[in-house]
Amino acid sequence: MITTDNRWIKQYVLGVGFNGPVHLATNNYLQAVAVKSAQIDTDECSILREEGNILNKLKGCPYIVQCFGEDESFEYAKWTYNLLLEYSPSGTLRDFILLNGRIPEPVAALYAYQLLTGIRHIHNKGFIHGDIELSNILIYPNNKLIKIADFGSAKQETSREHQVFDICSVGCVVAKMLFGKPTWYEEQIDDYQCMICGFDNPDVEYFDDVSNMAQNFLADCLLCDFPSRLLSVDELISHPFIQNAITTPGNDLINISTTVNDNPFGDYWISERHLFTTTCDKWIAKIRRLINDLKRELTTQLKPTEDMTLDRKIYIYRGQRLE
């Protein structure tokens, strides 16, 4: 076992995924990681362990979120499995679009390049991601770097048929960036394909201020029902929409891709225990806080009488008396 500084604390919940909550955790040195957690011996824990295994095999690509390792802790009377991940203080690409609206074409093209490069790495390692969407793409403080996250749906798969889904999903993400519509759903792909490929009259709401070059790129991504016309990841990277962006002066991809969070655990996969284990005192303190919160809630709704022993009611409700 590798020994590290165990003084890590889960501060608050960043979000709740399909397999459990994601916390922001910090240590005494003000380093931060994102921690995905699941109760041990559950289906969610098995999926989370597999996600960690996949991320460990995908190391080396700057456009895929870093996984630092894993931890098993005894937290509030439950054995918990924790996956230690790179934290992005700027949130997801979906958050960014909701706050800022549509993304300019040159920036969207730069993001598309990073997405495709990350997907190429995933496919070359024999996997598919299976869930490329705005909420699974992290954006970093300089707003030039993005990373693919959430590999809970990833599978070991090398067939072209399954890889096509990731490519089509890139088209959906780029469309949402260009149109500023993060709630555009996959059920609309058929209608959109007809418009983007000229089979139907374009919707002005979609195509306003979107260049023909960008429209052609989207068509090449979204033609998942026309395998003979669908381009490969390498062909899409060579598309003028991408090449014009990455060859623009100032878009130094080497410097962008090296803007990553330092690994607080070192340059190895950490296998640890009890990074977040809570003592009995902490557990009791949490229960006390819950009791006090309930007490305050009840006192705002009820007017205690001489016959009402509020503390006793709360202790019985919780099933345990705490002195």
Residue in 89, 58, 280, 86 with CA at minimum distance from that of residue 155 = 58
Could you tell me whether strands 155-156 and 127-128 are parallel, antiparallel, or unpaired per DSSP bridges? antiparallel
What are the Cα distances from residue 36, in Å, to 16, 70, 114, 323? 9, 10, 24, 34
Are 112 and 203 found together in one domain?
yes
CA–CA gap between residue 138 and residue 151 (Å, rounded): 13
| 273 lies in some domain | no
Kindly list the averaged pLDDT for each block of 10 residues, start to end, along the chain of length 323: 62 83 89 94 94 94 93 89 93 92 93 96 95 92 88 89 87 89 58 54 59 88 67 91 86 58 76 82 71 78 51 43 42
Could you tell me whether strands 270-273 and 67-75 are parallel, antiparallel, or unpaired per DSSP bridges? parallel
Residue in 99, 63, 77, 75 with CA at minimum distance from that of residue 25 = 75
Q: Is 245 helix (H, G, I), strand (E, B) or coil?
A: helix
Are 120 and 27 found together in one domain?
no
End-to-end CA distance of the chain: 39
Q: By residue range, what is the domain housing residue 313?
A: 280-318
pLDDT for the residue 272: 81
What are the Cα distances from residue 315, in Å, to 77, 87, 128, 300, 308? 19, 39, 51, 18, 13
Are 195 and 128 found together in one domain?
yes
What are the Cα distances from residue 243, in Å, to 106, 169, 318? 10, 20, 62
Are 68 and 115 found together in one domain?
no
Can you state the angle between helices 105-124 and 160-179, rounded to 10 degrees? 160
CA–CA gap between residue 245 and residue 251 (Å, rounded): 8
| 272 lies in some domain | no
Q: Provide the number of structural domains found in the chain.
A: 3
Are 313 and 191 found together in one domain?
no
CATH of the domain at 66: 3.30.200.20
pLDDT for the residue 23: 94
pLDDT for the residue 320: 45
CA–CA gap between residue 238 and residue 257 (Å, rounded): 19
CA count, 13 A, side-chain hemisphere, 213: 12
Are 61 and 160 found together in one domain?
no
pLDDT for the residue 85: 95
pLDDT for the residue 206: 57
CA–CA gap between residue 61 and residue 291 (Å, rounded): 47
